[in-house]
Structure formats: structure tokens, C-alpha cells
Structure 1
């Protein structure tokens, strides 16, 4: 484990440098995602590049199950708010689709062309758009920076409408960065430009949940110690409220493969996300 206080914040939040074969993951994700999109598009079950707002990256993909959706699942990608798009993660929709959920995956305007607060507003607009397209309960999940974004959706000053918030049945943050203050101490902040005010306003651990929506804080047990700590921080801070919050440390999983369970309808992560395994935790 990392000794505290941390002397090198860049290393503490460096994932790829500590994962064997890290450079192979992004092209693998892209290949899997493209093949998945092509297959669903051929089956008439993919609505791609739907505009949810005016900006160039205000686009989402909506994947549909074989029958009428029983609800909406939303996946918000990570990349430290400065990398990736919806198009690297399409294959992760396979698990929720198998359980009858429609799956929305939005892109958003990255830093430095946006601020983290602005990204939150875009993600909220994407969720609102998708909610108008698909009826039923809504479940939110996000990875890394996406974990911050989905937990921000249900905490602090409202980003979602009351009607959409009332439909949210659960939120799963996967390896979420729930406290932005340490990120201010990394070189990434030259791009992100987080200041004290934004860190206070956009860090879920410093905010109060808006409603008693069930939350799962999920992290790979083999991740960088700071991600394990960030996951525990959300659990510890939010369990003092009426929000039902649980925590899980996935043994043997690191930052790049902890998300794989979403693609498997029988994996504990997918089942926990969809509220099918309330005992997990």
C-alpha cells in the first residue's frame, strides 16, 4: 500500500505504468467495441451518434435489447476527463442488454476545452435525452472519471431534473475519482485546471446525496492504492446519510480490467449494477 502522506501524486494516479501490457488495452477496447457496434447495427438494435446537445462531442450511442426495454442503463467513460469517447466501450453494453436493458453511452467535451463542472452538465443532458427515449428505471455506472460523474449526478446542486432523478434505481461507481483535491497536485491539472472552488463543488465525497438512491462503490483490489482509498472514501462519507451504499474490492482486478464484468451478464459487477445481486458487497 502507498505510505501517506504521498510524495509523488503523479505516480499515485498513474495506472498504465503499473499494469503489464497496458499499451495493448486501448486498441483491444476499440476493436471489441467496433465489432459489437457493427453486429448490433446489422441487427437493427443500435442507434448511433444521437445528438443530445449542440457541441461536437454531444453524441451518444443507444443500444437496444431484443425485446421492449425493461429500463435504461447508462455507462459514462473515464480517461481523466481528457481522453476517450463512447466508441471504446460499446462491448460493455452486452451484460445489461442480456438482462433486457437499453444501454446509452455518451461522449462529452473533454478538458481543456471543457471544465469538469461543464462535463457534468453535458452528462446530465445526455442522461435526460436518453431518459426521454427509454421508459422505466434508470441505472447509472461510470469508470474512473466516469465514477465521479455518475455520483455527481445524485449529489450536490441538482444537475438532473426531479423527474429523471426519481427514476434512478441505482448508481455504480467503478474505480471512481470521488475527491478531486489530490488530482490538483498532479501534472494532469495543467490540462484539467481544477481549482479549489471546483474541487469543493464537484467532489462527491464533499457533497450530500440528493436522494436515498442505492450506490455501489466498486474497485479492483489490485488497483493503485489511491483508487482503493478513493473508493473507500465514497463509502465512508456517504454511509452517514440515508443513501444505501455498499463497497466491493474485486480481487485480482486492476484499473484496466475491472470494467470487464459489465460485459458478462452473469458477472457479479453486472448483476450488482442492475440490482440483481443485493448480497454483493
Structure 2
């Protein structure tokens, strides 16, 4: 339906709702370049054969610390892990390792392909924990926007099906920011689906809100108060579907779809504090 397509295209076009989004992206680039210059980091580690299967690793200042894995957004078709290096210092300074993963962007890859790449990334990290000196029993996944969808898919994954050495509770917690957890509306969001090429058959198998968690890993959610009603609805959907493990939704009344990432990366902010609390609670 034309009206439905127009509605969803308006609701999910986050950049159109943020007039200064070019400034935000430029600031992220500058802050991320600074983080890579001034902090220890291992860049472009290979976790798979495809050119998009790379990750950056920012080590903690202490041995055997937990690992925070951040998955970037961009509608599965834009942005790069290097755009989000600015997130790492707020967590390494607090004593945690940080990995930022990449993936092949749509339309070169489907969402199914991208999910499988993130499964490979987390499996690779788990298997290389000793080499990079982090605790494989304390992996927490975080994601923003499309990255929050991918992070939730990692929480729904039956890990032993992807490797007999992988524990069912490989992911010990999640931080899900402004995510898309039911993909049905994206079928009707023309400006996005032109690249994603989602079909009706994809929705059930790629919507974490339509599937159970693999185990009861605790998670926190956040959605900016300045975001569209659809992004708020999507967050509420997952909170209801996975109610038993949901710890809290962090209130961000003044944040939009982009500045929520700034909140995540700012020590002293409520979202950063909730994320640190979750990381500390892993065992």
C-alpha cells in the first residue's frame, strides 16, 4: 500500500529527521581517528575470508578482562567499524576490552549473509580469547540501529550448532540501542529495501522479536526520546518478547537516533553507567 510505504519510509529515515547529521558523522570520524592514534589497538584483524570480515580490537589495561563487542549500524548498507572507534576509550579506561566488527554491506551481502558473518566474528573472538588476553566467559554484545538487530541475533543464536566447541551461553549480555527487531516494516520501507531485497519469507527467520533468546542473558535497551514512534515501538517489541531477561530501558529524552551513540561513549552518562554495570555483572 502506498500510504503504508510512505509512513514507514518517513518513520525509518532517521537521517532525514536529524538536520545536522553530517556534522555528527564528521565529529565521529575525527574522534575515532583520535582514538586510534592515542590508544593501543589492533586494527583489521581477519575473522573470515571475505574482505568485509575484519574487526578492530582495543585491549584493556588489565589481563583476563571481559570483552565488549560493538556492532555498527547504517541499515546494513553503510558505515564502517572505524567510524565508531570513538566508543572504545570509555570502556578500555574502565577496564574492558573492546572489539568493533565489520561486515560486507548490502547489496553485496544479504542480511542473512551479514548475520552469518557476525556469528563468525564472535566465534573467532571466543576461540582467540587466550591470544588476545580476555575472558571468553564474559562476552557482552552491543549494537546500534541495524547493529542492534545483529547483536540481538547473536543473543538468539544456538551457538553449539555453529561449532561443537562453542558454549550455548557464549553471549553473556546485550546492550541494544535503537534497534530494528521485527523486519516486517522494512519490507515496505522502499528507500532501504531497494538494497536489502528482503522478502516475506525472510521476516520470521531474521526478526529477533519473533524468536526466543538462546538463553537468558540479561540485556538493557535504549531509544532516544527524539526518535520516531517506529523505533520506539521496535524497542518495546523486543522488551516484551524477551521480558524475563530485560533489565532496564535507559531513559534518553534528549537523544536522537545518532546522539544515542554519544551517550553510550560518555563516562558518567546513564547509558554508559548501565553498560558498565552489565559488563561487571557478567560471570
- State the TM-score, normalized to the length of structure 2: 0.88
- Per-residue deviation, residues 183-225 of structure 1 (Å, max 9, x unmatched): 1101111110111121110101111111010011211111111
Larger fraction in helix:
2
1:98, 1:265 within 8 Å by CA — same for their partners in 2? Answer: no
Gaps of 5+ in 1: none
Partner of 1:19: 18
Root mean square deviation of aligned Cα: 2.1
- Per-residue deviation, residues 86-137 of structure 1 (Å, max 9, x unmatched): 1100010122112211100011011111111110111111112222233240
Partner of 1:38: 37
- What are the equivalent positions in structure 2 for 1:115-154 lying under 5 Å apart? 115-131=110-126, 132-133=128-129, 134-136=134-136, 137-154=138-155
266-275 or 29-38, larger mean C-alpha shift: 266-275
The reply to whether residue 50 of structure 1 matches residue 45 of structure 2 is yes
- What are the equivalent positions in structure 2 for 1:1-281 lying under 5 Å apart? 7-40=6-39, 45-131=40-126, 132-133=128-129, 134-136=134-136, 137-155=138-156, 158=159, 161=163, 163-187=166-190, 188-239=192-243, 242-275=244-277
Structure-2 separation of matches of 1:213 and 1:76: 18
| CA drift at 1:277 | 9.4
Structure-1 separation of matches of 2:151 and 2:250: 17
139-148 or 122-131, larger mean C-alpha shift: 122-131
Describe the SS at the equivalent of 2:104.
coil
What is the total number of aligned residue pairs between the two structures?
Answer: 269
2:250, 2:270 within 8 Å by CA — same for their partners in 1? Answer: no
1:93, 1:263 within 8 Å by CA — same for their partners in 2? Answer: yes
Gaps of 5+ in 2: none
- Per-residue deviation, residues 144-180 of structure 1 (Å, max 9, x unmatched): 0000001011216557657354243210110011111
Structure-2 separation of matches of 1:148 and 1:13: 14
16-25 or 163-172, larger mean C-alpha shift: 163-172
1:175, 1:227 within 8 Å by CA — same for their partners in 2? Answer: yes
